[in-house]
Amino acid sequence: MDRRSVVKGAGIASVLAAGLAACGKKEDATPVAPAAPVAPAVSTGSEIRWRLASSFPKALDTIYGAAETFAKKVGELSGGKFTITVHAGGELMPAGGVLDGASNGTVEMAHTAPYYFFGKDPTFALDCAIPFGLNSRQMTAWMYQGNGLKLTREFYAKVGIVNFPMGNTGAQMGGWYRKEIKSVADLNGLKFRVGGFGGKVLAKLGTVPQNIPGGEIYTALEKGTIDAAEWVGPYDDLKLGFNKVAPFYYYPGWWEGGPQLSLYVNQKAYEGLSAEYKAIVECAAAFAHTEMQAKYDAKNPAALKTLVGQGVKLRPFPNDVLGAAFKAAQEVYKELNDTNPAWKKIYDDYSAFRRESNLWFRFTEAKFDSFMQSQKL
């Protein structure tokens, strides 16, 4: 190693040390190894080029954008040596094919919403969102400081993937309805486009969940093929114009109180990285994780104002809907606890964390938020 690369290596090491401190993870308490000898297949300073398959279209700039942010940071932190190209859903493989793609090494990385794979195993949803689950901050706390990352990594090891939290939308909206929902009885027979695991609970209330890609929702709502559809929240929903065909906009999206996106890394590819490149992946993912939530929190307020200005009828779900849905969710969880040991192992920890976290959040956070939101500033 010549003098120049030693200096450069030290520079990267100190950037990483600072980055890791910012990550604040328990296991990162040990200092980063200096850029000195690394034996794995890819040594620090080696030029590598990886591909990342996203499950999302480029039009979802906040969600798809998290993968672009990640790739950009990896490039910057590695001095341009570690290059990742990001590919939209359908470009290299179907949006729902990225789990297999990262698992079998067709691509080194994927970015997705793990609850898409609940049909393979509902346990995937615990790495994303379940009805009446953790909110965004709680999810991040469980992953980084609770047992979330450890337990989900054990689960993903079975399919050869190393996972990292990479983005959260925050609590989503409850979707667009052609007719008003006055009580839980109005959900019976409702043909509802809903993403992910929430459909399992809605089905218990008589709702008929529909799986329709984002680009086809508008036409289905317009034609009345479906009665209602949920997507994300004001910023993304406004762009698709659902308010023109379904005037009632409900909240909250109780099936997605804090859905987290995940970065999947093929395990063999990950293990072949130098310690420094592994740290770069970890910190770039943590940066993209924070940035995505910040984008939503910054962009949703103006979008909601615009929608209300266009005559959208904003409605809270009636209490009996929330109550019945909560009860139905507990039934689904009991069935899974009784039949799926992988689910039970993670859900036990997740639900204990949720209980303790809500016990705390109901005091300072909730009181402060509700007071501030009622003030005229």
Q: Which spans of this chain sit near Ca ion (rule: CB under 5 A)?
A: 172, 195, 256
Q: How far is the CB of 102 from Ca ion (least distance, A)?
A: 22
Q: How far is the CB of 125 from Ca ion (least distance, A)?
A: 13
Are 233 and 173 contacting, i.e. CB atoms less than 8 angstroms apart?
yes
Sheet with 109-112, edge to edge strand ranges: 82-87, 48-54, 109-112, 260-266, 161-168
- Which residue number, 92 or 130, has a Cβ lying nearer to Ca ion? 130
Q: How far is the CB of 66 from Ca ion (least distance, A)?
A: 16
Question: Tokens in use for 246?
Answer: 């379904």
Q: How far is the CB of 335 from Ca ion (least distance, A)?
A: 23
**Residue 269 corresponds to which amino acid?**
A
**Alpha-carbon gap, residue 370 to 374, rounded angstroms:** 6
Q: Where are the beta strands (DSSP E) in the chain?
A: 48-54, 82-87, 109-112, 161-168, 175-177, 191-193, 208-210, 228-229, 248-251, 260-266, 313-316
- Which residue number, 36 or 59, has a Cβ lying nearer to Ca ion? 59
**Alpha-carbon gap, residue 115 to 73, rounded angstroms:** 26
- Which residue number, 172 or 267, has a Cβ lying nearer to Ca ion? 172
**Alpha-carbon gap, residue 184 to 281, rounded angstroms:** 45
Q: How far is the CB of 207 from Ca ion (least distance, A)?
A: 15
Q: How far is the CB of 259 from Ca ion (least distance, A)?
A: 7
Q: How far is the CB of 53 from Ca ion (least distance, A)?
A: 21
Of 296, 279, 191, the residue nearest 233 (C-alpha): 296
- Which residue number, 13 or 261, has a Cβ lying nearer to Ca ion? 261
Q: How far is the CB of 180 from Ca ion (least distance, A)?
A: 21
**Alpha-carbon gap, residue 331 to 284, rounded angstroms:** 39
* CA-based R_g, the chain, Å: 22
- Which residue number, 44 or 172, has a Cβ lying nearer to Ca ion? 172
- Which residue number, 146 or 259, has a Cβ lying nearer to Ca ion? 259
Count of beta carbons in the 10 Å neighbourhood of residue 208: 16
**Residue 72 corresponds to which amino acid?**
K
**Alpha-carbon gap, residue 253 to 198, rounded angstroms:** 9
CB closest to Ca ion, residue no:
195
**DSSP secondary structure of 136-192:** HHHHHHHHHTSSHHHHHHHHHHTTTEEEEEEEE--SPP-EEESS---SGGGGTT-EE
Q: How far is the CB of 169 from Ca ion (least distance, A)?
A: 8
Q: How far is the CB of 334 from Ca ion (least distance, A)?
A: 24
Are 81 and 12 contacting, i.e. CB atoms less than 8 angstroms apart?
no
Question: Tokens in use for 134?
Answer: 């953790």
